[in-house]
Each structure stands twice: as structure tokens, then as C-alpha cells.
Amino acid sequence: MRNRFAGGERRFVGRAPSRFQRGYRPRDQGWLGTGPAVLDRGMEDVWIMNSGCSRHMTGHRKWFSSLNPVSTKEYITFGDNGQGKVLGVGSVSLSAMLSLSEVAFVRNLGFNLVSVSQLLVEGFEVRFKKGVCCALNAKETLVFRVDLTSASGPARCLVASPSADIWKWHRRLGHLSFDLLVRLSSMGLIRGLPKLRPEKDLVCHPCRHGKMVAASHIPVSQVMTSYPGELLHMDTVGPARVASVSGKWYVLVVVDDFSRFSWVFFMEFKDEAFGFVGICC
């Protein structure tokens, strides 16, 4: 599960029984982190209950009891904006009571993630109480339990970019430019805006895509048609601010592509254009 709070994100972790170690006993633990990015050999036997994860996924092949390759290209975006390719989808048995289906095998994913939303889709019920997270089946039998209070081991911070604050405020203020953000921060014009330091080479992909313009049409120097009337270019103009002497508000212009002969028709209503097309043809 992921809870946002000042300074990062909280995820609750349960350590599943390993089928590859003798005498291994289950152990639950709480863990603090900000997003998987690289393969972590020390987390192979830890399964994270994550409410922000779209599906069950793991980067360790040994957990799968069955694994099928995928026919389409699919990628998973990590917390540090990195991506991992989905190599296959299969089933994982965490215990005698809990078997996960449609688990994605993701390249370079260093953790094993249990999706809370996918558990709900599969018919399980997830309950969060003080210090405990439980997953129950349709018969309300306990199949998975995480003790949220027995945190062990040092806290880890996997993603700690110094540009986190400026990126956060860039998105909060409607993708305001980074230079203007730093200026507003230094001048103290926005209440609650912290002091931001200028940074180089910051590229916001949504901003870049939004400022792109369509490619211009390539000019054609030769006539593409072979006889008059093969292709006609038409356009309507109006309504004009002032009607003509005869009370017309619209203008229809027709140009023949081959001969460049032009027709100009004046119309009182825009839907009269269909009647003039037959004259040109």
C-alpha cells in the first residue's frame, strides 16, 4: 500500500515464505521507499502491498509456477520515470492459500509488487486496520497478512532527486516554466512556495509535446491533375459583418486545379453552397 506524506511515500511490505530455503519462516516487515528502479538482490523474497500498482508484477523469474511470453510490447513505468519491458505473464503461488494470476514478469524490476486493485478485481477483500493489513477470500478466510508495525532493517530511499521540489511545483502550478518558478520563489510572491534552486537540463515531456507544431505542407510545383474538373478546391467565407447590396452574407470560391479557373458565388445562407457545386462540374 502507498500512503503519501510529507517527505515521501509509505509502502507496507510482507515477506512471503521462500520455497528455495530450508527452515525459512515467514516474516512481515514495514518498509519505507519511493519507487523501484533497479534490480535489488536483497528484496527477492519480499512482496510489497502496493495500492498504486496497476497489476501484480515482479522482476524475479524464480517465483513463477507458470510463465507465458507476451505477444505485444508492453512497458511498465517506474517511480523514477524509468521503464521496464514486460517479458511474460504467469502465475505465482505465495502460499497454500494465496495464488496470484496475471503476474507480469518485468525486466529490471527490483521488487515483487502485489497490486491491491488487482486483488479486489480477483474477488479478494483487503482490509486495513491499525497496524495490520489483511487479504481475505470470498469465504472471508485469511490468505495474506502484513504486520505494519514490525518494521525491521534500515529505511531505504531509492529515489532522492534534488529536483523533486521544483518538479512538484512545476506540475502544481500548471506546468509553469522552471525559470519563472525560481524567480517567483526568490521574490516570495507566492505564499507557501519554498525556496527553489535553478537547475539545468530540466525537460518536461508534456510541455515539450504541447508546444510542438504541425509540420508544414510541402509546396507542389507541378500540376497533379490531367484534365479540367478532375479536382476542385472550394472554400466558403462568412458571415460578413455587413451584407452586400443584394443581401448576401457568404462567399463561395471554387478553383479548378488543372486550369486554375475560378468561380465566385455570393450566398445569403451557407447551405446554398451545395447548389452551386453542380454548376462548376
The model's pTM: 0.40
- Asked if pLDDT for residue 180 goes beyond 70, the answer is yes
User: Residues near 12 by Cβ (< 8 Å), separated by ≥ 6?
Assistant: 1, 30, 31, 48, 49, 133, 146, 148
What is the CA angle 77-62-66, rounded to 5?
85
Q: Which bin fits 123, alpha (ψ -120 to 50), beta or left (φ > 0)? A: left
Beta strands in 56-205 (DSSP E): 57-58, 64-69, 75-77, 83-93, 99-106, 112-115, 125-129, 132-136, 142-147
Q: Would you state the cell numbers that stand for residue 215, as one nine-digit string? A: 509540420
Q: Would you state the cell numbers that stand for residue 6, as one nine-digit string? A: 510529507
Residue 250: what pLDDT? 92
pLDDT (average), residues 6-20: 41
**Span 43-86, pLDDT tens digits:** 667 777 777 777 888 888 888 888 888 888 888 877 667 778 88
pLDDT (average), residues 99-115: 83
- Asked if pLDDT for residue 22 goes beyond 80, the answer is no
pLDDT (average), residues 28-56: 58
Rounded-to-integer distance, Cα 144 and Cα 28, Å = 11
- Asked if pLDDT for residue 151 goes beyond 60, the answer is no
Nearest to 81 by CA among 158, 11, 24, 29: 158
- Asked if pLDDT for residue 3 goes beyond 70, the answer is no
Band (pLDDT 50/70/90 cuts) for residue 158 is low
The residue that leads in pLDDT, 232 or 141, is 232
Do residues 96 and 80 touch, judged by C-beta distance below 8 A? Answer: no
Nearest to 161 by CA among 42, 272, 81: 81
How many CA atoms are closer than 13 Å to the CA of 81, on its beta-carbon side?
7
What are the b/e assignments for 216-246, b being 16+ CB within 10 Å?
A: eeeeeeeeeeeeeeeebeeeeeeeeeeeeee
- Asked if pLDDT for residue 146 goes beyond 70, the answer is no
The secondary element (H helix, E strand) that includes residue 280 is: helix 273-280
Residue 31: what pLDDT? 31
Number of Cβ atoms within 10 Å of the Cβ of 167: 16
Residue 147 is given by DSSP the state E
Number of Cβ atoms within 10 Å of the Cβ of 87: 15
